[in-house]
Amino acid sequence: MAFDIEAHRGGRALYPENTLQAFTAALALGVDTLELDVGVTRDGVLVVSHERRLNPDLARDAAGNYVAPPGPLLIDLPLSEVQSYDVGQIRPASDYAKQFPFQQVLTGGVPPPRIPSLKQVIDLVRRSGVDHARLNIETKLDPALTGEAPEPDRFVTLLLGLIEAENFTGRVMIQSFDWRTLQLVQRRAPNIPTVYLSRQGGKTPTVSLTEATRWTAGFNPADYGGSLPRTIKAAGGKVWSPYYTDVTPELVDEAHSLGLQVVVWTVNKPEDMAQLMDVGVEGIISDWPNLLRRVAVDKGLAKPLILDVERLGQGIPIK
């Protein structure tokens, strides 16, 4: 594929995350892929949310009050209740708000800033007229928290059922830290690329080079010479998506030698974007899709874009 400019949660540095408004703005900015997360409501509807709960830093009720921590689980709420909350403004003075001080505040408007269903996002992309735009859909499961989401078989059944019913198979990738869901996708829909997310360091690593973890569906990198790319190749993956600081030029070369593409997350500094482009990654996921596109243009990996500024971020599907 050509270099893949991915808007993380729709570009949350610019607009409220995982909203139709953010996705519309990202399309207007010329991204190739909308990166997003999905959960499941009590009535079996796929909705776009990074958390498996209503986020207390995002969701406000009709009275304007943010939900109390930790927030109710999506799986316990019907779609109508999930979509009754306003998610157009980060809770002021929260740590999250401090991360993204330039994010546009959205209050009211048509459509209102609600948690969208995945079908609504597919409809938006189809109406936009951006025929090359794709979705990179993350399944939000944690193998240790079985009561917070449907078990993998039902989750994948719902997801593939919607994608197939919408005739959108050729415009999606499915990614996950929970590799169990990717194994199911590969068996049931082998034409859909699977993206193996990983993080080796930090407070919440999901992979180890010496043992299988709860995330890796039984795959142990120690069985493949301590190589994460070789492990993902053995698992049947098409794309390796590591945290960007876990990447080295040697690992990118190794992944390429195995036929894997490398798409890194979440890169927000232009100098890091440029360095990763130089080592040959196929794509970058960023909260700042405008900066990412600018660096890609400078590197000759994308064409300059004339923005439709009147439609940018107004929730109006662009043509």
Number of neighbouring beta carbons within 10 Å of residue 300: 9
Number of neighbouring beta carbons within 10 Å of residue 167: 10
Number of neighbouring beta carbons within 10 Å of residue 208: 16
pLDDT at position 305 is 78
How far is residue 120 from each of residues 24, 33, 45, 47, measured CA to CA in Å? 12, 16, 11, 9
Question: What SS3 state is found at 111?
Answer: coil
pLDDT tier at 319, thresholds 50, 70, 90: very low
| Structural tokens at position 9 | 């949660």
Rounded-to-integer distance, Cα 44 and Cα 299, Å? 44
- Which of 63-67, 111-115, 229-233 is least confident? 111-115
Q: What is the CATH number of domain 4-298?
A: 3.20.20.190
Mean predicted confidence (pLDDT) in 257-275: 98
Q: Which residues of 100-121 are buried (b: 16+ CB within 10 A; e: fewer)?
A: beebeebeeeeebbbbbbbbbb
CB 3 within 8 A of CB 277: yes
Per-residue pLDDT of 50-108, as tens digits, reads: 999 999 999 999 999 999 999 999 999 999 999 999 999 999 999 999 999 999 999 76
Per-residue pLDDT of 299-318, as tens digits, reads: 999 999 766 555 554 544 44
| Structural tokens at position 103 | 């994010």
| Structural tokens at position 35 | 């990166």
pLDDT tier at 217, thresholds 50, 70, 90: very high
How far is residue 291 from each of residues 5, 30, 82, 118, 221, measured CA to CA in Å? 10, 11, 32, 26, 35
Kind and range of the H or E element at 39? Answer: strand 33-40
| Structural tokens at position 16 | 């409220």
Residues above pLDDT 70, as percent of the chain: 94
Domain ranges of the chain: 4-298
Mean predicted confidence (pLDDT) in 178-189: 98
Mean predicted confidence (pLDDT) in 244-255: 98
Query: Omega into 289 within 30° of 0, i.e. cis?
Result: no
CB 194 within 8 A of CB 186: yes
Mean predicted confidence (pLDDT) in 26-31: 96
pLDDT at position 120 is 97
Identify residue 16 by its one-letter amino acid code. P
